[in-house]
Amino acid sequence: MMSEKLKQFTNEYPLVIEIPVQWGEMDAFNHVNNAVYFKYFESARIAYMEKTGVMSEMKSKMIGPILASTECRYRRPVTFPDTLKIGCKIIELKDNEFTQEYAVFSIAQDTIATKGKGRIVMVNYKSHQKTEISDSIIAAIREFQPELN
């Protein structure tokens, strides 16, 4: 049965993926290594982009996302065994970039263990210049996250 905290979490994030903690992700301090969280964020980021058509447009038009900056706030250590829910949503949408927020929910602890952000810039891969987010991608993002309208 889903806890109330997990229900609230899944309602807050339009995209949620599940990742089991792997033994090899632990470090000498007996918790998931800090760098691993950026891989979790990346997995959620790519799933979000697949859902909204960014990845298919990248292949067809050679215009796509570049991670410009990222950050992470560690709230609680995560250990093996655990299952994590990684939430992702856009919190700021501009002409040629957007900011995503990530959250890592620990099933074992029934709480958010880590939060992060990523600033993504759209780039023309041929010219290596920033470019505007296409109308079709903006429409897909706004359909997926109506609160951004």
Query: How do residues 80-136 score in pLDDT, each as one tens digit?
Result: 999 999 999 999 999 999 999 999 999 999 999 999 999 999 999 999 999 999 999
**Residues of the domain holding 136:** 4-142
Pairwise CA distance, residues 103 & 72, whole Å: 9
Could you tell me if 80 and 22 are in contact, meaning their C-beta atoms sit under 8 angstroms apart? yes
Residue 148 lies in a domain: no
- Number of Cβ within 10 Å of residue 97's Cβ equals 18
- Number of Cβ within 10 Å of residue 103's Cβ equals 23
pTM: 0.96
Closest CA to 91 of 113, 53, 120: 120
Residue 147 lies in a domain: no
Residue 102 lies in a domain: yes
How many independent structural domains does the chain possess?
Answer: 1
